Structure 1
Amino acid sequence: MSQSNRVRWGVIGLGWFGEVHADNLAEIPEIELAALCTRRPERLNEIGERLGVNRLYTDYRELLADTEIDVVSITTHINDHRDIAIDALRSGKHVLLEKPMAPTVADCEQIVEVANNAKGFFMVGHICRFDPRVTIAKQAIDEGRIGKIISMHARRNLSKAIGQTVLDDISALMGDGIHDADLMLWFSQANVSTVYAQEVHPGQNKFPDGGWSIARLDNGAVAVVESVWHLPESTPYAIDARLEVIGTEGALYINCGEAGLTIHDAQGVKMPDTMYWPRPFGNYFGVLKEELCYFANCVRNNEVPKRITPAESCAAVAWMEAATESAQTGSVLRF
């Protein structure tokens, strides 16, 4: 770290979300956004100039060789996650890898094996674990307030306008369903026993626009994940995300879709994001910033991240990978 005890951070991958990462990092006093990397020189120079970053790389290996960098965010295409994460861990950097960890369990296991022997810390960015609505629900479950979990159902649906920009890279189930798969496993502290899924593909992109997966957990609970990126373009929701958890002694309901603000203007009715990475008056706050600060504090204090473990991240990928296979074959898969 720098003499000022600021964590020096680099971002590898400057697509839309990589830029959001960089913008948030640049506004956190305890962090120095020190380096950027993308294969597109014009994009690199544009964001570097805007954020005042001088260390600019078109080859991520050169960034990893920079001894002035403590931490890297990896916000690239999912198919690049395995190799870049392994190289970053072997270079001694602390690594925050965007979810999903990798496309397959086999890829995840390779990353985890390297992470287990790496000098730096490793965490996958499951942002929902930092949402206060979710963490308060987790606390209530751990306190036994709803008894033993017997049923969970989640939906996380997006406009097809967003889907059309993403569905050549990843399916709706793997891209967003993985959030709720992870939360359900976290809430229940259970493992998946069987998985069945169906997907729909009304659009023209490579991957299915939506899917449903039902899992039986080894504690007896049933868990259903719904993710459909085909809402009308006029939908008021930035994201229609809700999660219901029913236990033997009670229930809880998390509503992340209606985030407390509705704006009705000449363009229609919209419910903008007020929690994840809102930017009122030009400054970010929210759950993503909380996640970045958490990892920075782990690095600064030399404490292994505990909010989510690599094994837990891998388990969520395993469920969604099995769901994809089930949807393609029509079979119930057993773990």
Structure 2
Amino acid sequence: MGRSWRQQAATSSAHCTALGVDFVGWQGRHSDKANLRESGSRGPLALGSPQNQPHSPAARCPGQRGPKWRLEMDKVKYGVIGLGWFGEKHCEALAAVPNAELYALCTRTESRLNDVAGKFGVRHVYTDYHEMLADPELQAVSITTMWDQHIEPALASLEAGKHVFCEKPMASTVEDCRRMVAAANASAHAFMVGHICRFNPRYALAKREIADGKLGRIVSMYARRNIPAPVGEMVLPKIGPIVGDGVHDMDLLLWYSGAKPVSVYAKTVTVRGLGNPDLGWSLFTMDSGAVLVLENVWFLPSTTAMQIDERMEVIGTEGSIHVQEVAPSLAVCDKTGWTYPDTTYWPTLHGRCAGALRDELAYFVDCIQRGEKPTVITPEESMAAVVACLAAEESARIGAEVRLK
């Protein structure tokens, strides 16, 4: 069995967080696929020995000369529970985190499990997360199942003594959020919900400007996060736009303002009948007297150039901040028209996943190795965003204002 996370942290030298690390000297990773073979009717599926040894990149922190701490430190053995599209994105990002080892994978669909394990050269593979959590070598997990399936693997992982990174939204009910917050706070291990926008440099820098008092008292907040209809069509049977995407901006604006919502009136429109509304608008009144508006439309034309039409405006008594994430700096025009490739969240850079997803997972892994709980976002903050968005969905359902306690 490997050393405990606190023992590992005690032997490592101090280092900077993911947002402060200047990574240099990236080296490629070999990705030879290996054939899976079943090792019995129960237990993990074994993978043939892959020629897949990631190189550790050198890292430089401000005020430090040598990269040795990253080369000498044990890697965190990391597993992913849930291998849908975003679960695979987690695998790509973790493969680019120098102090993490993509150690284990779990999903219920064996063919999908084999495909992803072969792609990343992962030997420890499971169709039951309880069996995966029984491995004493496994130290941390990402939970990337659908949001209404977060609670049980999250609680089981904490109970098994693992560090837990849970994708957003935290959970699908207020009660499940409460249970997760209580378990996270009772555990000695790291817990974090993946509010990726806090690792988008534009939003992080906006927070700094607001914290410096440049806006004065915030009086108005508006956020827009819209996606093309074909993307919405894939997700709408499982989750609606207010909580599915609005939770991103709700979290950011609560973080920026320090205010709490006291009431919300929301309106949704259903176009395609896919189980959830195609769009939602939400108007919140805050305890500070400010107003907050969320626009979430999952019905943009299929020819829309960007993957997300993402904007934010915060207005105060002394200034304002405007974030434009529509087309940061790259536009491509070919015979099919214009596209704005992602350069922020999970772009591929020199053959490896980069961007905010990689940065937030690197931050989480660094917290584990330092023996600290994450502070960029807390369990309580993650819950607050879900509670507000669920209240908005309830308002739209009943056609009336909903007051929050």
After the TM superposition, which parts of structure 1 deviate over 4 Å for at least 4 consecutive aligned residues? 1-4
Which letter does structure 1 place at the counterpart of 2:306? Y
* SS state at 1:95 partner: strand
Cα distance in 2 between the residues matched to 1:239 and 1:13:
24
In the alignment, which of 262, 283, 289 is matched to residue 193 of structure 1? 262
**In the alignment, is the contact (CA less than 8 A) between 2:96 and 2:358 conserved in 1?**
no
1:6 aligns with 2:78: no
* SS state at 1:223 partner: strand
- Paired residue for 1:308? 377
- Paired residue for 2:136? 67
- Paired residue for 1:151? 220
Tell me by how many angstroms 1:106 deviates. Answer: 1.0
Cα distance in 2 between the residues matched to 1:193 and 1:28:
40
* SS state at 1:275 partner: coil
After TM superposition, the structure 1 = structure 2 runs for residues 152-167 of structure 1, keeping only pairs within 5 Å, are: 152-167=221-236
Aligned residues: 335
- Paired residue for 2:34? none
**In the alignment, is the contact (CA less than 8 A) between 1:259 and 1:272 conserved in 2?**
no
Root-mean-square deviation over aligned CA pairs: 1.1
Cα distance in 2 between the residues matched to 1:119 and 1:62:
22
Tell me by how many angstroms 1:305 deviates. Answer: 0.5
- Paired residue for 1:19? 88
Question: Identity of counterpart residues, as a percentage?
Answer: 49
Tell me by how many angstroms 1:292 deviates. Answer: 0.4
**In the alignment, is the contact (CA less than 8 A) between 1:198 and 1:212 conserved in 2?**
yes
Tell me by how many angstroms 1:280 deviates. Answer: 3.5
- Paired residue for 2:153? 84
After TM superposition, the structure 1 = structure 2 runs for residues 25-40 of structure 1, keeping only pairs within 5 Å, are: 25-40=94-109
**Mind listing any 5+ residue stretches in structure 1 that lack a counterpart?**
none
TM-score normalized by the length of structure 1:
0.98
TM-score normalized by the length of structure 2:
0.81
Tell me by how many angstroms 1:204 deviates. Answer: 2.8
After TM superposition, the structure 1 = structure 2 runs for residues 1-335 of structure 1, keeping only pairs within 5 Å, are: 4-335=73-404
Cα distance in 1 between the residues matched to 2:220 and 2:320:
9
Tell me by how many angstroms 1:281 deviates. Answer: 4.2
Further displaced range: 156-165 or 278-287? 278-287
Which letter does structure 2 place at the counterpart of 1:289? R
Per-residue CA deviation, residues 97-143 of structure 1 (Å, 9 max, x unaligned), is 00000011111001111111113111100000111100110000000
Cα distance in 1 between the residues matched to 2:97 and 2:209:
31
* SS state at 1:139 partner: helix
Find the structure with the greater CA-based Rg.
Answer: 2
Cα distance in 2 between the residues matched to 1:84 and 1:266:
46
Cα distance in 2 between the residues matched to 1:177 and 1:154:
8
Further displaced range: 253-262 or 150-159? 253-262
* SS state at 2:393 partner: helix
Cα distance in 2 between the residues matched to 1:281 and 1:229:
32
**Mind listing any 5+ residue stretches in structure 2 that lack a counterpart?**
9-72
